Every structure is written in structure tokens, then in C-alpha cells.
Structure 1
Amino acid sequence: MSRTSSPSAPPSAGGQLSLSLTTPKIVFLIIAAAAPLAAMVGTVPLAFALGNGPGVPAMFVFAGLTLMCFCVGYAAISRRVVNAGGFYTYISCGLGRPPAVAGGLIAVVAYNTASVGLLGSFAYFAQLVAASHGLDLPWEAWAAAGLLLVAVLGYRQIDLSVRVLGVAMCCEVGILLLLAAAVLVRHGAAALPGTSFSPHTLSGSGIGVSMMFAFISFIGIESAALYGEEAHNPERSVSRATYISISLIALFYGFISWIAVGAVGPHSIQKVAGAQLGDLFFSLSDDYLTEAFTTAMQVLLCLSLFAGWLALHNAANRYMFVLGREGVLPRVLGTAHARYASPYRASLTQTAFSLVTAAVFAVAGLDPYLGLTTSMLGLGTLGIIFLQAVACLSVIGYFWRRPDRHWWRTALAPALGFAGLAVATSLVVINFDTMTGTKNPVVDSLPWLILVGAVLGPAYALWIRSAHPERYARLAGVETRRGEPVEFAGRTVTEAVPTGS
């Protein structure tokens, strides 16, 4: 079955992306954005040290179950609505265009800043790893090299990015599974202590901080919808890829963090993690594997960070592409490459934003990790979790008066998802200084940007409605299969199929 555009669908001229993605490819994109090895090395030790210690694996399970509720509604709407606009389109379908414009602008800020945050993290760890092996270059050099490669891959057709991300994901997951196997061989069943899931542990102090870090580690799981226009069968691929990704990430994170508790000991994990932080998993590799495997893990950490950076770069591009295509952002951003069918101008814009932001931090002499990474990634994380919560409300609103609504898929599940994500959003705001590792008043004020976007976005949409009513009427248009209803901003338009077409 071929696809076509309705009057409310995205324009095809100059704006058509390639149809090259399958479910496995989208799964690679999602899991790569979560950066499994980077999450284990960088986030889990902090959750152990600052949270409830051995209870961290249970928090990953809780976050996974909450996001699975989010996924139920997200999958339901993704089968009806096909668009590269992700949150922007779904919020429009359920809550209307003004909130959708706010959501789209917040998404642009969130994904762009998160991408820059991973730039800083990649440069920081690449410098450390290379210097430990005799290649001592400034972090700015590694940032420039990584940015050049991201720019090239983002400019080209997304299949090339998928190949890079697939290799990176398999390598980083593989080495963590080797470590887990070594711990299991040495300790047997004791490598998976029941203490991690005991009521006593889960009722202890620090559970809120652990929960916050658990939700942070799932960033990127909602990005499947951004690739709907590039999927062969979006009605199935988007929902399947989201379900598979959340399940795999929750099980993997929960299992590896549980193995770490067993390797160190449930009564020692909080103290040891606090002392070693980012070196915790490297120390475990030295102990349970060999120094050669530790070196490989260090290199793969850099690869993991690069993969996450590239995945978020691609996600940011698609938001700018769709918002540019519809005139919310400059229309020049909404043009696809004639040969590669990629959002190349949006990619170049994201690259330029990353370059300027990193340059400002470098000129100011700020640390690439404690300055650039924590602040930018913290803001991006908050924005994405906030949008996940709003998306749950959008699903409820979209299906509220539809005959195909369902008590679980389109009502209770997204309501439970909203409740969990609202708690996660509050935890991030309350513990923002803990997450960023600084009490700098400028950094601590960054969450206000989300509120500013939530206020200015609807105001901007209402201005478009007043000044450019025709453009406003085309906001959040979608593509669907020929002859099926077109979902556009909550309205259903049945498209007539020309005879003989």
C-alpha cells in the first residue's frame, strides 16, 4: 500500500524523508540514545551512592513498569498517527495546537541541549581514556573530532547512522554481559541478592534520588515516533520498537545493576560506589575480568557516549525538520536532501548550535563534564520527562470521544504513566542540583526555561492563528496510508482516493 498526503498532511515537496527504517533499526536508534554502557558507568554509581544503595535495581524495574504504561498509550496513538513530529504531533491530537507548539519548542530545546551535554561527556571521557594510554589532547580536540563525525552522519541518510549505532550498542552490551557472567561464575546465586527487592531496602532513605536516576537512564525511549515517516510499516514498527526497547532497557539495567550489588555486596555498595563513582565498573572489570577488558570497556564507554550523542542529534533534527516544515521554526529547516532524503539543514543547524555552545564553555574555561555535560544534559532530561508526562494526557484526550477507546490502553495505562512521570519530573526539579552536581545559581535556574516554553509556546501559536490562519490550520499535519482517515490535530478527515490511482 502506498502513502499519500492530504491537504492537512506534511508537504511532500522538499520535505519527504526516506522510507528505510524497520523495527530492528528503530530499536537500535532508541537503545543507542539511552547509551547503556554510559548509563551504567556514569549514572548507576551515583544512584548507589546518593540513593538507596542496593535498592537501585528495583528502581529500574519500577521505572520500566511506569514507562511501559506510558508506552501502552503511546503505541495506541502511534498506530493512528504517523508523523516525524513525535510529542509535537501527539500533543496536538490530544490537547490542541497551542499546547502542541509549546511541546514542540520544549522538545527542540530538550533534545538539542541533551545532545550538547553528550558532546561534553564524550570529549571529557575521550580525553581521559586517551591520556591514560599516552595520547594527551585537550578535550576541545576530541569535541571537534566527534562533532565533525556526527555532522557527517547526521547529514547523510539515516541508514548509515543505524549501522554505526548498531555496532556500538552490540559492543557495549556485550562487554557488560561478559562482566555479569564472570560475577555469576564466581558467586553463583549470591550474585543476585534478594536484599535489592526487600521491603526494608525499598522503604529506606534515598529512594526518591534512586528513582530519579532510574528515569534519567531511559531518556530516548520515546523517540520511535520521530521515525514514523521513515518506517516501512509505521503503524506496527513504532509501537513494537517502543515496547521492545523499554523491555530490553529495563531488564538489562535492572540485571546489570543487580549484578553490581552482588559483586560488591549489598551492605558495601553505597560506600564503595561513593568512593569510586565513575571507576566502579572499571574496578569490577579489573577484579572479575582482566585489565585488557577494562581498557576495552573504557574505549567502548567513549563509543557508547558517541552513539547516544548521534541518536539524540538525529532526534533533535527531526523536531526541527517538522517544525520548520510547518512554519513554527524557519521553513529552511524543513527541507530534505535531494539525494540522501535526510533533514540535512536541521542537522547542520544542530551542529552549529553544538559548536557555538561548546565554544562558549571552552572560552569561559569551564569543565566539559561538570560545566557543559551536567547543565545541558540535566535540562534536556527534565524537558523530555516532562513531555513524556504531557504525552500521556494527550493519549487520554485523543481517545476520549473516539469509538475505539479502551479502558486500559487509552485510559488507565496512560493515567498511571502520567502519575509516575509527574513524580519523576518533580524529583528532577527538586534534585536538580544533585543531578547536575553543582549549586551554581545559573545552572539551578535552568528548569525555569521549561516553564517559559510552556507559556510562550501557546502564546506564539495564538499569534500564528491571528496573523497567519492558513498556516495555523496546517499545524501538526500527518501522513497516513492511502484511503484511510487522516488524523489532523484531533480532527478526522477521510481522504478520497482518485480513481485509478
Structure 2
Amino acid sequence: MTAVAEQAPANRLRKNSLGVGAITFMVISAAAPLTAVAGGTPLGMLMGNGAGFAGTYLIVTILLLLFAVGYVAMSRHVGNAGAFYAYAARGLGSMAGGATALIAILSYNAMQIGVMGLLGAATSGLFAGWGINLPWWVWSFIAIALVAVLGYRQVDLSAKILTVLVLCEYLVVLVLDIAILKTGGDSGLSAAPFSWSQITSGSPAIAILFCFAAFIGFEATTIYAEEARDPKITIPRATYFSVVLIGVFYMLTAWLM
């Protein structure tokens, strides 16, 4: 009994280990800034509303900030790693909570399958140029193994690694942004992408879809409540910071593009 009691804390979430910065960068990493800019933004412009895509980012950012107000208010009363499941179960009952969990599991796993395939194909092509020829699925399984190891380790290690990777992603996109600012772009710099006529042109519904998708994972701030330092302050700040950082960064880049 004594041995079990001594070992129990090792199997629990590590409390007081994550600050505002760590949580912010962990959720921003889920949004994958470089992927959203290089993959999502061009498609959103092509299939959505063209130049008005930047203005759409502004609208979506405001909407998610309004959502975040209620979300972080609930986080003060629900400290649970179950995120949306825990919130839905507390507010609407266990049946609604279970339905929320099943939809989330289906959606995130479907996305994860696609992401792992994309990662494997991109990595295979990169290393093939260096003379290392391996099938795409080998790289996908290597990535899965790395994620498993980091998931087993302490959460602050993953936070440090993700912070470095996210900063590198931001740096790559900022280099592009600065280059466009320096040259002025093909048609010069203009506020036209934020006009209502541009935002509602083409297929704005598709543009809105792509914009919301670019924020994927920002709601994950609350799942770190048990591991955060002073969660009543850390979680709200991390949530607002992540929405603003993602929204402003994407909006600025889409405008320059």
C-alpha cells in the first residue's frame, strides 16, 4: 500500500509546470502557421473570396475573441483535461458531453490521418533530394514514434520543443512578409481587401471555412488547466493571446499576399 501511495503522484498530470507562453505556443503549434499560410491561404483565396480573404480573417478573429470571453469564463469553474467534452457535460448533461466527445474524436482522427500522410509525403520528397529514398509511410511512422515519446515525457519538454518550432515557422513567414513589404507587392499596398465588397465577393462561405480551420486547436488552452501555473489567470491570457497572435499574423500575411 505504501509503494502504491508513493507511486501514484507520478501517474498524475504535472501541476504548476506551464506558464502563459508555453501554453500559447503549444496551441498555436496545432494551428500550424506555416501550413495555414502556405496551404490554406492560397486555397481560401482561390476557392473563396480572393483579396477579401484578409478581411475575412479579421471578422473570424473578432468572432473567436467574443467566443473566448465565455469560454475562459467557464474555465474558471471547470478544470478538466477533457476540454469541450467536460464543458458540454457540465452545461448540457452527460449525453451531450458524450456526443461532443465522439464528434471531436472522429474529426481530429480524420484530420490526423491526413496530416500524417502529408508529413510523410513532404518529408520523403525532401530527403529524396539528399539521396535518402524511403517510402512516405516510413517517415509517417517515425513521426508517430517521436510524438509518442514526447507524449510520454514531461509536458514542459514538449512545450519547449514546440516553442522553438513555432518560432521557426513564424520566422519563415515573416521573411516572406518583409520581402513583400519591401517591394510593395504586384499591385501596391491597399486597404481594399478589408472592404465589404471584397469580403462578400466570390464565395465568402468557403473563405470563412478556411479561416476558422486556420484557428484549429486554439481552444486547447483549457486542457492544460491542471498543469498550468495559476490556471485562473494563465488559461484566459493564453486563450486571448493565441487568438490574437494567430488572427493578426494570418490577417497581415493574407493582406500582403
Code of the aligned partner of 2:179: A
For residues 41 and 121 of structure 1, what CA distance do their matches in structure 2 show? 13
How much does 1:14 deviate? Answer: 7.4
TM-score by length of 1: 0.48
Distance change in 2, residues 1:192/1:221 (3 Å): farther
Whether 1:235 and 2:232 are equivalent positions in the alignment is yes
Task: Count how many residue pairs are aligned between Structure 1 and Structure 2.
Answer: 249
Rounded Cα–Cα distance in structure 2 between residues aligned with 1:119 and 1:81: 32
Confirm or deny that 1:96 pairs with 2:88. Answer: no
For the Cα contact (< 8 Å) 2:117–2:137, is it kept in 1? no
Q: How far apart are 1:201 and its partner, in Å?
A: 1.3
Counterpart-to-counterpart distance in 2, 1:135 and 1:165: 26
Q: Distance in 2 between matches of 1:195 and 1:46?
A: 20
Question: Residue in 2 aligned with 1:112?
Answer: 109
Q: CA deviation at 1:126?
A: 1.1
How far residue 44 of structure 1 moved from its aligned partner, in angstroms, is: 0.9
Q: Which has the higher contact order (CA 8 A, sep 6+)?
A: 2
Query: Are 2:210 and 1:213 aligned?
Result: yes
Unaligned runs of 5+ in 2: 1-7
One-letter amino acid of the structure 2 residue matched with residue 202 of structure 1: I
SS class of match (1:179): helix
1:182 partner letter:
A
In structure 2, the CA distance between the partners of 1:91 and 1:173, relative to structure 1 (3 Å rule), is same
Residue in structure 2 matched with residue 137 of structure 1 by the alignment:
134
Secondary structure class of the residue paired with 1:29: helix
- Rounded to whole Å, the distance in 2 between the matches of 1:116 and 1:203 is 33
**Secondary structure, counterpart of 1:67 in structure 2:** helix
Structure 1 unaligned runs (5+)?
A: 1-11, 261-501
- 3-state SS of 2:226 partner: helix
Query: How much has 1:190 moved relative to structure 2?
Result: 6.1
1:48 and 2:50 correspond: no
Partners of 1:247 and 1:70 lie apart in 2 by 13
Matched, 1:258 2:255: yes
Aligned CA distance change for structure 1 residues 163 and 203 (closer, same or farther; 3 Å): same
Are 2:51 and 2:198, in contact at CA under 8 Å, matched by a contact in 1?
A: yes
1:154 has 2:151 as partner:
yes
Instruction: State the Cα deviation string for residues 10-43 of structure 1 (Å, max 9, x = none).
Output: xx77752101111111001110000000111111
- The amino acid across from 1:71 in the alignment is A
* CA displacement at 1:108 relative to structure 2: 2.6
Q: Deviations over 1:76-117 (max 9, x none)?
A: 111222111111111122111221122123223333333332
Report the Cα offset of residue 74 of structure 1.
0.3
CA distance in 2, matches of 1:28, 1:121: 22
Superposed CA RMSD in Å reads 1.9
Cα deviation digits, residues 403-451 of structure 1 (max 9, x gap): xxxxxxxxxxxxxxxxxxxxxxxxxxxxxxxxxxxxxxxxxxxxxxxxx
- Tell me the CA shift for residue 207 of structure 1: 1.0
Runs of 4+ in 1 over 4 A off after TM superposition: 12-15, 188-191
**2: CA distance, partners of 1:150 / 1:40:** 23
Q: 1:69 maps to what in 2? A: 66
> TM-score scaled to structure 2, two decimals?
0.91
Q: Which residue type is aligned with residue 46 of structure 2? A: A
Residues 54-83 of structure 1, C-alpha deviations (whole Å, 9 max, x = no match):
111111111111111110100111122211
The sequence identity of aligned pairs, in percent, is 39
Residue 229 of structure 1 aligns to a residue whose secondary structure is coil
CA distance in 2, matches of 1:73, 1:229: 19
